[in-house]
């Protein structure tokens, strides 16, 4: 079968011919139908030799498809079931420690499978497994976004657009910080009340009461992860929370005094339940992320476009139909 693989030494992803996978007792084999492209794929290649001890490694951690074979211990699933795969579950992370879904076939542990509801487009199902799960879990489960809260979203990209919409659906007042002004209409359409280019514009001013200041945020989820973490901390009220998701830079620093009385937590991935909840919201049309479909053979080119910030929303490779 064909597979896009990281070969080591920071080299670009490469299309290779490899052997088909065989399932372990707890795995299924999935004919991959849709695979999302993620900035994490780029990060894995840029610092891959530190994160991927086994090369070549098939990339792709945002996958949906049809089960074609079952391991001897698989329960609750059958050949022909349409599923998405949790990339942060029982099986070591796809595309980093375990071969991912930029390939014709994927081996996945059955305990990491989310059922895709009938009628949901498989591009959306693929997006739900990472962009959906990760952003939703950070906003709703870790952040606790709810009615009456003032919520900030930093980065309205593949994840931020879903996180922002989830917060709107939860009843929060949502603000977006996004440098690309051309996506502001999408943010407003999703229910955000206002957009700014830089989260610095949200900062609580010196001398203001951080506890009672009506302009302070209850929650900010940072889907970017550059110099944005400090900016988020500067904008939340005392007792507020910053949820860090974005991995724009490998390290960052914060002013020690700025975190006193506040909370900062990291959110990684999510659960099968998160994926299935996002799938249901997508099926109902409550979450409708912007995305562009490309062909399997275009994955390498697509990652280069992502790297150059030439993509609005998410890229999804469709193949095997």
- 39-90 residue pLDDT tens: 888 877 777 666 667 889 999 999 999 999 999 999 999 999 999 999 889 9
Share of the chain above pLDDT 70, in %: 95
Closest CA to 269 of 191, 178, 159, 187: 159
Q: Which residues, including other chains, have CB under 8 Å from residue 242's CB and lie 6 or more apart? A: 219, 220, 221, 222, 229, 232, 233, 236, 262, 263, 264, 265
Give the SS3 label for residue 140.
Answer: helix
Domains of the chain with bracketed CATH:
2-129+270-318 (3.90.180.10), 144-266 (3.40.50.720)
User: Could you tell me if 36 and 316 are in contact, meaning their C-beta atoms sit under 8 angstroms apart?
Assistant: yes
Residue 191: left if φ>0, alpha if ψ -120 to 50, beta else—which one?
left
The residue written with tokens 């579950």 in the block is: 89
The pLDDT assigned to 250 comes to: 75
Q: How far apart are CA 118 and CA 124, in angstroms?
A: 12
- Residue 103 forms beta bridges with which residues? 3
Place 96 in a pLDDT band, splitting at 50, 70 and 90.
Answer: confident
| Percent of the chain residues past pLDDT 90, beyond the cut | 78
- Identify each DSSP E strand in 18-112 by its residue range: 27-37, 57-58, 63-70, 82-85, 105-109
Q: Which of 27, 126, 18 is nearest to 69 (CA)?
A: 27
Per-residue confidence (pLDDT) for residue 20, from 0 to 100: 97
DSSP assignment of 256-300: GGGGTT-EEEE-----HHHHHHHHHHHHTTS----EEEEEGGGHH
Q: Mind listing the pLDDT tens digit for each residue in 196-233?
A: 999 999 998 766 665 556 679 999 999 998 889 999 99
Give 263-297 pLDDT, tens digit per residue.
Answer: 999 999 999 999 999 999 999 999 999 999 999 99
What number is the average pLDDT over the span 91-98? 89
Measured distance CA(150)–CA(220) in Å, rounded: 9
The answer to whether 274 and 282 have CB atoms below 8 angstroms apart is: no
pLDDT tens-digit series, residues 8-19: 887 889 999 999
From the CB of residue 98, how many other CB atoms can be counted at a distance below 10 Å?
18
Peptide bond into 225 cis (omega under 30): no
What per-residue confidence (pLDDT) applies to 211? 55
Q: Alpha helices, DSSP H only, in the chain?
A: 39-46, 48-51, 122-127, 133-136, 160-169, 184-189, 228-235, 272-283, 299-307
- HSE value, Cβ hemisphere, 13 Å, CA-based, for 311: 25
Tell me the pairing of strands 82-85 and 113-115.
antiparallel
> Phi/psi of residue 202, each to 5°?
-90, -10
Alpha-carbon distance of 225 to 245, in angstroms, equals 7
pLDDT digits (tens, 9 = 90+) for 158-173: 999 999 999 999 999 9
């Amino acid at each position: 079968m064909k597979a896009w693989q990281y070969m080591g030494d920071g080299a670009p992803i490469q299309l290779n011919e490899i052997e088909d996978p065989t399932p372990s007792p707890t795995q299924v084999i999935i004919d991959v139908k849709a695979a999302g492209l993620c900035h994490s794929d780029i990060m894995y290649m840029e610092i891959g030799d530190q994160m991927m001890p086994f090369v070549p490694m098939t990339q792709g951690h945002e996958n949906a498809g049809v089960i074609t074979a079952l391991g001897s211990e698989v329960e609750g699933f059958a050949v022909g079931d349409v599923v998405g795969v949790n990339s942060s579950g029982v099986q070591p992370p796809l595309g980093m420690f375990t071969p991912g879904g930029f390939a014709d076939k994927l081996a996945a542990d059955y305990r990491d499978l989310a059922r895709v509801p009938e009628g949901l487009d498989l591009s959306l199902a693929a997006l739900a497994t990472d962009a959906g799960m990760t952003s939703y879990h950070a906003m709703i489960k870790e952040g606790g976004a709810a009615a009456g809260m003032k919520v900030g979203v930093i980065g309205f990209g593949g994840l931020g657009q879903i996180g922002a919409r989830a917060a709107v659906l939860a009843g929060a007042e949502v603000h977006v910080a996004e440098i690309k002004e051309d996506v502001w209409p999408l943010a407003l359409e999703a229910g955000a009340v206002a957009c700014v280019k830089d989260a610095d514009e949200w900062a609580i001013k010196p001398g203001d009461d951080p506890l009672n200041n009506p302009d302070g945020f209850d929650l900010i989820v940072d889907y970017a992860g550059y110099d944005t973490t400090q900016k988020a901390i500067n904008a939340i009220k005392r007792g507020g929370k910053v949820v860090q998701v974005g991995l724009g830079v490998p390290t960052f620093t914060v002013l020690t005094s700025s975190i006193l009385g506040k909370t900062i937590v990291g959110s990684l991935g999510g659960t099968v339940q998160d994926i299935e909840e996002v799938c249901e919201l997508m099926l109902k049309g409550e979450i409708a992320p912007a995305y562009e479909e490309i062909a399997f053979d275009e994955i390498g080119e697509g990652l280069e476009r992502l790297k150059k910030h030439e993509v609005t929303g998410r890229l999804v490779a469709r193949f095997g139909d």
